[in-house]
Amino acid sequence: MHEYKRIGRDLVYKGSIIDYYKDTIEVANGNTVKWDFIDHHGAAAVVPVTDDGKLLMVRQYRNALDRYTLEIPAGGMNPGEDYKVAAARELEEETGYKSDELEFLIKVNTTVAFCNEEIGIYVARNLVKSEQRLDEDEYIDVVAMDVEELCNMIYEAKIKDGKTISAILAYKNKYVEKN
């Protein structure tokens, strides 16, 4: 195994959900290289399951892609929150449902080449209608969909979001295919 040693990390930009750094790395042959590094402040997501087995999905505009996406509810963690607390908060904020029954599903690192973002993903059952509480710049439509329909959308490249793909397939593998 080749050895890498970080010998410097310089902050380039401090943001609200990420900090961007330029790292200086010493590689195995002794040369030094500059690598980009994005420090993400953490995120949580949730797979909301309705009583009839459908998954609540959110359709929202994503600026980075300049299009609407279909995703599981998710968002950044607030200071002091753990993944489960943040997942419960995002469930209510984005879908207008609450649940006292959140079960850990998986954790994913989204972009390992240059970012340390880790998302803790939970499954929420026994959903109780509450009130959607969107940020002033958020406009989200909530849709209930069958797992098979979502899997087909993944395989047809209609859903390309990594956390959503991971969550849906993990949910299907753990809960749907076992029955």
CA 138 to chain centre: 16
- On whether both 99 and 12 belong to a single domain, the answer is no
Residue 115 forms beta bridges with which residues?
38
- On whether both 80 and 138 belong to a single domain, the answer is yes
- On whether both 69 and 139 belong to a single domain, the answer is yes
- On whether both 17 and 55 belong to a single domain, the answer is no
- On whether both 145 and 113 belong to a single domain, the answer is yes
Residue 68: the pLDDT is 95
To which residue do tokens 């590094």 refer?
37
Q: Which pLDDT tens digit goes with each residue over 108-136?
A: 999 999 999 999 999 999 999 999 988 88
Looking at the chain, how many residues does it have?
Answer: 179
Range of the domain at 100: 43-176
pLDDT at 177 over 90: no
pLDDT at 179 over 70: no
- Give the pLDDT band (50/70/90) at residue 15: very high
Is 149 an active-site residue? Answer: no
- On whether both 93 and 158 belong to a single domain, the answer is yes
pLDDT at 67 over 70: yes
Q: Which of 3, 136, 156, 177 is catalytic?
A: 136
- On whether both 32 and 58 belong to a single domain, the answer is no
- On whether both 79 and 163 belong to a single domain, the answer is yes
How far apart are alpha carbons 11 and 65 in whole angstroms? 26
Strand blocks (E) in 15-159: 18-26, 32-40, 43-48, 55-62, 67-71, 74-76, 97-98, 101-109, 118-125, 128-129, 141-145
Residue 164: the pLDDT is 98
The CATH number assigned to the domain holding 56 equals 3.90.79.10
- On whether both 167 and 112 belong to a single domain, the answer is yes
- On whether both 36 and 55 belong to a single domain, the answer is no
What is the signed CA dihedral for 95, 115, 19, 161, rounded to 10 degrees? -20
* Domains identified in the chain, total number: 2
Query: Which conformational region is residue 53 in: left (phi greater than 0), alpha (psi within -120 to 50 degrees), or beta?
Result: left
